[in-house]
Amino acid sequence: MAFLIHLLVCIFGTGSWVAINGLWVELPLLVTELPESWYLPSYLTVIIQLANIGPLLVTLLHHFRPSCLPEVPVIFTIVCVGTITCVLFAFLWNMTSWVLDGHHSIAFMVLTFFLALVDCTSSVTFLPFMSRLPARYLNTFFVGEGLSGLLPALVALAQGSGLTTCVNITNTPDTTPSPVTNRTIGITQGASSTLVSAFTGTTASTVHLESRYLPANFSPLVFFLLLSIMMACCLVAFFLLQRQPRHWEASTEDLFSSQIILHSIRPQEKQDLGLPGPEGSSKDQGPLEEETAPLHPVQLTFIYLLVAFVNALTNGVLPSVQTYSCLSYGPVTYHLSATLSSMANPLACFFAMFLPSRSLPFLGVLAVFGTGFGAYNMAMAVMSPCPLLQGHWGGEVLIVASWVLFSGCLSYVKAMLGMILRDRSRSALLWCGAAVQLGSLVGALLMFPLVNVLRLFSSADFCSLQC
């Protein structure tokens, strides 16, 4: 039965961000079909941040009217809305409307807002619900939350989303570029050549390498239907969790706590009778006192600031530049870093289940290490299209390892901070979710002008690099 609860909690956790994560990994296919083209990611960033009105409203209602918003009906509502929206996405994603000066993907943007509203609101509803279950299930929830990024990425890899190849492109005067066929031309990577007429000595055409997306193995319709199935599984898992008997949910922890209390009461009875108690009684009381000891306001402030900072990096700052930091090393390196860093998230949460550490200094040091790996990733993005060791296998290994360690370190920190706040109160978990969304919002708003307005980062075409 315990394994079943862990499985249900994990599936429930995958529904937290699976829809928006799926939307991001599908972008390489969507930008080739929708009229916004590569401006689409910047639109998505703004729409997703506008959806933070959901968690803001929930947090304010919890603060001023705590009993007016029961979380179970809210969770049922948002998961149902997410499932229906994914189904609508499958059939309406490429529908365009004429607005002002041209065609725009209005249906796509409206549906994106509802998906973002679902996923953003999950941060301040799913976590408080987890306070109803024993503490050991919280790490399982974080494992599922990590899988919400991994599962869509694996589906996108099976689909072939974003995979590119280098083709020879011929540019001739007064004609459109076309791929060279039935001809072998000696062109090295990153170079272009000019074909000169042997008779006139004039330039006839130029040939260069260019990246082209490979055709997908299945359409976005199938991809969005798979996302809707994942959301439906989350809905079923939540329904089954509600059906679990309450006395069983807390029985193991209550029994463990009762044993500790009995061990601490019996020596006290002996002391009241004037009898010496066993020497180990203080040892039995120690762990309980340490676990339930109240946090100092400074410590609590540090925890919430660390939650916001870590999520600003993992959800806002670094994802905005992952393509810039990795594509210069090749499409294979980019897909490895994206997939393996997504795997590092649930693995770090799984690791936290067996080797937990609630030491705030240790978590602070680990966050510094994770930030260091993030700084390396950011530096490579700034140096794009010619980062360190570009064209050397060592550079490829370093950037993949840096992304994996960045994701793993900070995911472990997030999981342990959630465990600490879960032991404090249900309200602490709600404010933890609010800090998650606040940090993500600040990170995204900070990077949006840097990437889309000031254009401090240069994209790299791996097929035509000249470093």
Q: Which of 63-77, 395-409, 428-442 has the highest mean pLDDT?
A: 395-409
C-alpha to C-alpha distance for 297 and 309, rounded to whole angstroms = 18
Q: Give me the pLDDT at residue 251, please.
A: 40
Q: What is the pLDDT of residues 424-451, one digit of tens each?
A: 777 787 888 888 888 888 888 888 788 7
The proportion of the chain whose per-residue pLDDT surpasses 70, expressed as a percent, equals: 80
Q: What is the pLDDT of residues 250-276, one digit of tens each?
A: 444 443 443 433 343 344 434 433 444
Beta-bridge partner residues of 236: none
The proportion of the chain whose per-residue pLDDT surpasses 90, expressed as a percent, equals: 24
Q: Give me the pLDDT at residue 373, please.
A: 96
Q: What is the pLDDT of residues 129-169, one digit of tens each?
A: 888 888 888 888 988 888 888 898 888 888 877 677 777 77
Q: Give me the pLDDT at residue 89, please.
A: 92
C-alpha to C-alpha distance for 247 and 131, rounded to whole angstroms = 15
Q: Give me the pLDDT at residue 362, please.
A: 92
Mean pLDDT score across all residues of the chain: 78
Amino acid code (one letter) for 178 = S
Helix%, strand%, coil% for the chain, nearest 5: 70, 5, 25
Asked, as a colleague might, if the bond just before 385 is cis with ω within 30 of 0, I would say: yes
Which residue would you say has higher pLDDT here, 412 or 351?
412
pTM listed for this prediction: 0.72
- Mean pLDDT of the 281-286 span: 38
Exposed/middle/buried for 88, CB within 10 Å: 0-12, 13-18, 19+? Answer: middle
Residue 370: which pLDDT band, with cuts at 50, 70 and 90?
very high
Q: Give me the pLDDT at residue 174, please.
A: 54
Cα distances (Å, whole numbers) of residue 256 to 1, 131, 382:
18, 18, 53
Q: Give me the pLDDT at residue 202, please.
A: 53
C-alpha to C-alpha distance for 129 and 126, rounded to whole angstroms = 5
Nearest to 307 by CA among 364, 247, 365: 364
pLDDT at 190 over 80: no
pLDDT at 103 over 70: yes
- Mean pLDDT of the 243-252 span: 54
- Mean pLDDT of the 5-33 span: 87
Helical pair 53-64 and 106-122, crossing angle rounded to 10 deg: 40
Residue 38: which pLDDT band, with cuts at 50, 70 and 90?
low
Residue 172: which pLDDT band, with cuts at 50, 70 and 90?
low
pLDDT at 192 over 50: no
Residue 194 φ then ψ, to 5°: -120, 125
Residue 211: which pLDDT band, with cuts at 50, 70 and 90?
confident
Q: Are 324 and 125 in contact (CB under 8 A)?
A: no
221: number of Cβ within 10 Å = 13
pLDDT at 207 over 80: no
Written as six digits, the tokens of 291 are 């676990």
pLDDT at 218 over 80: yes
